Structure formats: structure tokens, C-alpha cells
Structure 1
Amino acid sequence: MLDALRGQFGRFRQDERAIEGLPIRLVIALVVGVASLSVMMNMISGIQGLAVVEVDVRPSPDVVGPGEQTLTLTAVDADGDPVADATLVVKSGSASLEAVQTATTGANGEAMVTVDPSLGPNQEDGTLVVEVKPPAGSEFVDRRANTKILVIRGG
């Protein structure tokens, strides 16, 4: 039996077919893998329905003092184009408001809100927070922090 195993081992050592076929199999696997990856990447980039656009707010003025005043808030997309029908919410940050103020943007992306911010007795500055609620059914989202309104005593 030992002689039979030695004989088969000798024949196996002389057989070079497995070594010759291995590079061809690797090349075929590589080509098929690259083709599959190309098709998948094309499918992913072709999906436009899942694309979303971040929306931000540009307040004017963005630095105010305590007391009642009217602000112009403009909702814009990532390219700076106006966003119509967005709901803008202004609320207290480190500066105080008695009530939350809301407004809806017009066709030009602008909305006006009247605020009356106040600061604490030893507080020199604070902020008002502006949130955007994008129009329902749109591709817009508000995931990042928006521009805050700075309130400065004596400003």
C-alpha cells in the first residue's frame, strides 16, 4: 500500500494541469467581478429618486440686539436657490424668546418674522435658533444645523 501511495504521489508531482488552469480561472473570475461591479455601480448612480438636497436658512440681519424687530429669513438649497413653501421656526437658543415664531416662505424663498429677543442680566450675547421644515413631498431635508441669529447687548 505504501508503494501505491508513492506511485500516485509521483504522478501527482508530474501533473502540471492544475497549475496551468489556475491563472485562467483567476482571470475569468476577475473579469466577471469587474463586470458585475460596473453594472451595480451604474444601477446605484441611476437612482435619482433617493437623492436629497440639504436646505438652509439665511437670516437678514444675522446679528441683532435685544428688543422687537423684524427679520427676513430666506430658505435656500445647497446651490443657493430659494426654496418655496418651507416652514421656518425661530425659537430660543441661549437668548430668550417669549414664544416660538413661525412663517412660511413664498415663491422667492423669503419669510418675515417679528421677534423680541432678550438676554439674561449678566449675559452679553446669545443666539436664536432657526429650523426649517421642508415642503411636504419634496426632495429637501434639514439634517444639518442652520445659521443662528446672534443677539448682542448694545447691538
Structure 2
Amino acid sequence: MLDSKSDTSTPETHAGSFLADRRAIEGLPVRLVIALVVGVASLSVMMGMIGDIDGLSSTEVDAQPQPEVTSPGSQTLDVAVVDPDGNRVSDATVIVRGGSARLDGLATAKSGEDGIASVEVSPELGPNQLDGTLSIDVKPPAGSDFVDERGNTEVLVVSE
């Protein structure tokens, strides 16, 4: 317990020195920045652990058309649907749309056991158009953990 005789300061003196003391304010922003950095690092570690759980992760599929360069007119494109390891995916629906090359509607086909879908297309180029593209989308098999969120290889259509 403090002796009242040893503490000769009055409450007004404490209040004045408290108002003049700026040390607490100088350290506050640094502490907030450190807390923010530690919090963001912890959150990223937790999100990484959640992403590693098989039930919540998904696998991107890609479309590999053959041929990648073609000419206008009626033809068949063989599109292989593959996962990141290069394994073929069966029962996926391949959708071919006109990009800068015209296509009458959509062309669709389902990949077989070999992971290849044969799509009948008839691309056309406009007047004075030397080339164009056809875009490919993949609808993964129902009930699988596959997704097609990234862009796939486009087929280049070149006039003869």
C-alpha cells in the first residue's frame, strides 16, 4: 500500500502528465500491423488446410481438340477430356461454340470410355475474314469432383 506522504502528487498532476504522455499512441499502430499480419498468415494456413480436404477440393479438366487448326466446312473434331495428370475422363459433355468463326448453334458430344468426344461441326468465316476460332467448354460427369473453370484450347479455323 502506498503511503499518502510519499505520493505528493495531486490528481490534477496525474491527469496533466497522462495527457502529455504520447508513448502509448506511438506503439499502437505497430502493434495493430503486427496483429494484422499474424492474423492474415494464420487465416491463409487454415484455408490451405481446408483446401487439402478431398471432400472440398475439385479437379480441373481440360479439352484437347484434334485437329487444333482446321478449315471451314463440315468435319469432325475429336476432343480428348483430360485431368491434370493426363488421365482421360469419360462421360463428360463437350460443347463447341462459335467464337470469331461462326457455327450454326452449338455442337455437343459425350466422351466415351476412351475419354474422347467426336463433335460434328461446320464452321464458317465471314466475308474477308481470314481466320477465326471455335471455343470449347466441358461439362464434367455428374457426381464427380471435376470442374471446368479455366479456359480451354480453342480451335483455329483458317480459310484455304
Alpha carbons of 1:42 and 1:119: their partners in 2 closer, same or farther (altered >3 Å)? Answer: closer
2: CA distance, partners of 1:138 / 1:77? 12
SS of 2:113's partner is coil
Change (3 A) 1:69 1:136: same
1:145 to 138, 148, 151: 151
Q: Assess, with a 3 A threshold, how the Cα gap between structure 1 residues 42 and 94 changes in structure 2: closer, same or farther.
A: closer
Does 2:121 align with 1:119?
Answer: no
Query: 1:38-63 deviations in whole A, cap 9, x for unaligned?
Result: xx689636621111110010000010
Q: 2:65 aligns with which of 49, 52, 59?
A: 59
SS in 2 for 1:128: strand
* Structure 2 residue runs without a partner (length 5+): 9-41
Q: Secondary structure at the match of 2:7?
A: helix
Normalising by structure 1, we get a TM-score of: 0.73
RMSD: 2.6
Distance 1:96 1:50, change over 3 A: same
Report the Cα distance in structure 2 between the residues aligned to 1:116 and 1:81, rounded to whole angstroms.
Answer: 29
Alpha-carbon displacement from aligned partner over 1:81-103 (angstroms, at most 9, x marks no partner): 10111000001000001121100
Q: 1:64 to 1:47 in 2, by over 3 A?
A: same
Post-superposition CA distance 1:69-89 (Å, at most 9, x none):
111111001111101110000
Q: Which amino acid aligns with 1:65?
A: S
- Select the residue among 74, 78, 92 that pairs with 2:80: 74
Seq. identity, %: 52
Query: Structure 1 residues 46, 145: CA separation in 2 closer, same or farther (over 3 Å shift)?
Result: closer
Of residues 5, 8, 22, the one that matches 2:7 is 5
Q: Give the secondary-structure state (helix, strand or coil) at the position aligned to 1:3.
A: coil
Residue correspondences, number: 125
Distance in structure 1 (CA, Å) of the matches to 2:107 and 2:86? 24
1:50 maps onto 2:63 in alignment: no
- Give the TM-score taking structure 2 as reference length: 0.70
Per-residue CA deviations over 1:104-140 (Å, capped at 9, x if unaligned) read: 0011110111111000101100000110001111110
Within the candidate set 60, 83, 90, 1:84 is matched to 90
Which consecutive unaligned segments of at least 5 residues does structure 1 have? 7-36
